[in-house]
Amino acid sequence: MSSAAIAEPGGGRCRLHVKGAAEIVLRRCIAAVVDASGSRANIAADENLRRCIEAHITGMASRGLRTLAIAVRPDAPLPATDADVAGLEEELTLLSVVGIKDPVRTGVPATITACQQAGINVRMVTGDNIHTAKHIARECGLLTPDGVAMEGPTFRSLPDTELLRQIPRLQVLARSSPEDKHRLVSLLQSQKEVVAVTGDGTNDAPALKEADVGLAMGISGTDVAKEASDIVILDDNFKSIVKAVQWGRCIFGNIRKFLQFQLTVNVVALTIAFLAAVTGKGEPLNVLQLLWVNLIMDSLAALALATENPTPDLLRHKPHGRHESLLSSPMKYHILVQSLYQVAWLLFLLFGLPELGIARYAAPCRVSCKEWEPGCRCIVAVPESAAATLQGSICRDHNEIEKHNHEVLRAQREAINSVLFNTFIFMQLFNEVSSRKVRGEINVFAGLLGNIIFFMVVTVTLAMQIVIMQTPLAVVFKVLPQSWQEWVFAICVGAGGMAVCLLSKLAARPFVGRATPAAAGGERRLPPEAEATSVKLHALVPLGRIEVPDGEEPAQPAA
């Protein structure tokens, strides 16, 4: 309530005017003006009149009107200080009850529905009359038939154990005080919930400070509220919170995409390098080639995968858990399948390709000096282990033959490593496309046309790979120019990785899981599988629960 004392001339008395919540002011009235002539009736003595006035207040509140009572105390002691005015708000005469319409903004139900589909449980915490609050909550789509609307005095009278049983269904808290809001936040946090609170007034500061995420209004918010909050909503629009959730989930997903791609490349590169080293095959990828792989894996991949824009689909998934790992089950499965596929092909190129008998890749087996000396009985075996037969000694042409064999072996290894390097790069290019999805989605091309940066990165990578392989730059990278058959082979093996990824997702869906919606269109609470799930929101991270205080203006529809 608020009051104004007007001093009467002639000493010591004043006329006190009071306005405030209708039912609260009514309790302090002893009389009421009942007609235009100013006739007064004794409310204290006429219980029927009091009930009639209360019925009118309830009727207006039930229609969504915010009720305000105006009263007066004609002859009150003059207060010595402003603080003494509150003590004079007794023995009032009710002048009128006003109903103020505060219409819900267009699109609020759609915005609230978007929050609910995203797994966000929105609660209204207000100082309004319980009937007004319930009416507005129904208009917004907050209050469901099985939901609970509670008044502040009732909330304060219940012990924590009882409130913890009520809170899962609590959707509206009316006639609340700042202490009620703070207590509600604490109780939710005790249940491992992540709580976000919006507020604009000084009295919201304790709850804003206590919440995991405090969101203050940038236009109507006080400096105290802004100081206590974590985020300031510059346009005072509830829709902005939904956008923050959408962007937060987008960035979280982009981090996962990049991590999924990078781990696959690392696992494959380390595995093939280790196996080549322990089997005496040398270095399948030289230093410059590894630097190029590292550029693709880090800088270019970060540009391609971390610049995905948010999509409406993000708000149809359940929130991420407070302690959820960055590596989800579908991600681990993708990394495993892709790594096995790529390692298998690279091992085939490293060990199996020389055995196919193709001249470009075949290793020299046995060379005899008889090619030069028909009478020579010297036989030179595999170049690394040249030896003579027991019947004769190494002839004079042996050194030339061994030198020739080393040149043949070097050319053979260079040819194989060139195919291996080119194939490895193409497998990463196609895997980069597959890594755009981390929830087990089948269609990895969804939304691809909207990401120009991804197209640019892939195009630049492909162009640079062609330059490296087909121009004089090949000498620097120690690779051989590729034939059209080798280019087709590299592209087909890379594309095969996408096909294997698709088939593996279809086969493993019943076991690994899939992209799961947060809730059906009209559902108000988290689904059973997400009941114990919460989500952390900071400047751009997903949001779990939002408490909407008194004065919060709902927003336009979510984009």
CATH number of 110-243+540-548: 3.40.50.1000
H or E element: which one contains 548? strand 545-548
Q: What is the pLDDT of residue 514?
A: 53
Which two tokens mark 41?
Answer: 């009736």
Q: What is the pLDDT of residue 395?
A: 55
Query: What sections of 63-197 are H helices per DSSP?
Result: 108-117, 130-140, 152-157, 160-166, 178-190
Which two tokens mark 147?
Answer: 């939901």
Residue 197, phi then psi, degrees to nearest 5: -125, 135
Give the least confident one: 15-19, 146-150, 365-369, 469-473: 365-369
Give the least confident one: 14-28, 29-43, 234-248: 29-43
Residue-by-residue DSSP string for 525-546: S--GGGTT-----STTS---EE
Instruction: Give CA–CA dist 187/183, Å, rounded.
Output: 6
pLDDT band at 81 (very low <50, low <70, confident <90, very high): confident
Which is nearest to 240 in space by CA: 558, 537, 536?
558
Give the least confident one: 294-298, 345-349, 396-400: 396-400
Q: Is the pTM of this model over 0.75?
A: no
The pLDDT of residue 338 is above 90: yes
E-only strand ranges, 229-366: 231-233
Q: Are 550 and 210 in contact (CB under 8 A)?
A: no
Q: What is the pLDDT of residue 525?
A: 39
Strands 545-548 and 121-125: parallel
The pLDDT of residue 372 is above 70: no
CATH number of 244-512: 1.20.1110.10
The pLDDT of residue 276 is above 80: yes
Among positive and negative, which fits the CA dihedral 476, 478, 484, 490? negative
Residue 188's contacts (CB-CB under 8 Å, 6 or more residues apart) are 167, 195, 545
Q: What is the mean pLDDT of the chain?
A: 80
Average pLDDT over residues 492-506: 91
pLDDT band at 520 (very low <50, low <70, confident <90, very high): very low
pLDDT band at 551 (very low <50, low <70, confident <90, very high): very low
Question: Over pLDDT 70: what percentage of the chain?
Answer: 81
Average pLDDT over residues 397-421: 75
Q: What is the pLDDT of residue 116?
A: 86
Looking at domain 2-101, its CATH superfamily turns out to be Calcium-transporting ATPase, cytoplasmic domain N (3.40.1110.10)
pLDDT, tens only, 429-462: 999 999 999 888 888 888 888 889 999 999 999 9
pLDDT band at 524 (very low <50, low <70, confident <90, very high): very low
Give the least confident one: 132-146, 375-389, 396-410: 375-389
CA 509 to chain centre: 22
Instruction: Give CA–CA dist 328/322, Å, rounded.
Output: 14
Query: Buried (b) or exposed (e) across 151-190, using 16+ Cβ within 10 A?
Result: bbeebeeeeeeebeeebeebbbbbbbebebbbbbbebbee
Q: What is the pLDDT of residue 250?
A: 92
Instruction: Give CA–CA dist 279/347, Å, rounded.
Output: 11
Which two tokens mark 385?
Answer: 């282990």
Q: What is the pLDDT of residue 434?
A: 92
Burial grade of 505 (CB within 10 A; 0-12, 13-18, 19 or more): buried
Average pLDDT over residues 400-416: 72
Q: What is each CA distance from 382 to 168, 358, 454, in whole angstroms?
A: 77, 18, 48
pLDDT band at 311 (very low <50, low <70, confident <90, very high): confident
Average pLDDT over residues 44-48: 77
Which is nearest to 552 in space by CA: 113, 68, 125?
125
Average pLDDT over residues 142-162: 91
Q: Domain residue spans in the chain?
A: 2-101, 110-243+540-548, 244-512
Burial grade of 439 (CB within 10 A; 0-12, 13-18, 19 or more): middle
Q: Are 545 and 194 in contact (CB under 8 A)?
A: yes
pLDDT, tens only, 85-103: 777 888 888 888 998 887 8
The pLDDT of residue 554 is above 70: no
Which two tokens mark 184?
Answer: 């509600």
For the beta carbon of residue 539, count every other beta carbon within 10 angstroms: 11
pLDDT band at 541 (very low <50, low <70, confident <90, very high): very low
Which is nearest to 461 in space by CA: 296, 259, 302, 304?
296
